[in-house]
Amino acid sequence: MMHEWDTFAVVVGGSAGALVGLLFVAISIHAARMAASADLRGRAAQTLVIFAALLLIALLLAIPEQSQRVLGAEFLVLAALVTTALIWLDHRARQTDSPRPESRLRVG
């Protein structure tokens, strides 16, 4: 039954892998700016966690002859870990003293 998800796992895994590569290129292009801002580093880390989660989902879907119950448990553990990591990284990014630019778009 899980063989129906093979193509999906390949597409998600390939896309997430490509996006991780693009994230590293973007970070390396703006390395000086990233080094100066803890907030930007935190946001980049959050993005990396999301892409890594997509890669792990693809890997879990690609495991042959795995029961749906085990896969569901793996997804729940992964969701809990990703949620914890994202909340922790967001908390760290908000605690930084890097100045936040005011929005140029004002309502009212």
Q: Which two structure tokens, joined as six digits, stand for 62?
A: 């690609």
Cα–Cα dist 26/22, whole Å: 6
Mean pLDDT of 30-34: 84
pLDDT value at position 103? 46
pLDDT value at position 69? 95
pLDDT value at position 100? 55
Q: Chain-wide mean pLDDT for the chain? A: 82
Cα–Cα dist 56/71, whole Å: 12
Could you read off the pLDDT of 4-15 as tens digits, one per residue? 777 877 888 888
Cα–Cα dist 46/34, whole Å: 14
pLDDT value at position 87? 94
Q: Phi/psi zone of residue 65: left (φ > 0), alpha (ψ -120 to 50 degrees), beta?
A: left
Could you read off the pLDDT of 83-106 as tens digits, one per residue? 999 999 988 888 765 555 544 445
pTM above 0.85, yes or no: no
In our burial notation (b when 16+ CB lie closer than 10 A, e otherwise), range 18-31 reads ebbeeeeeebeeee
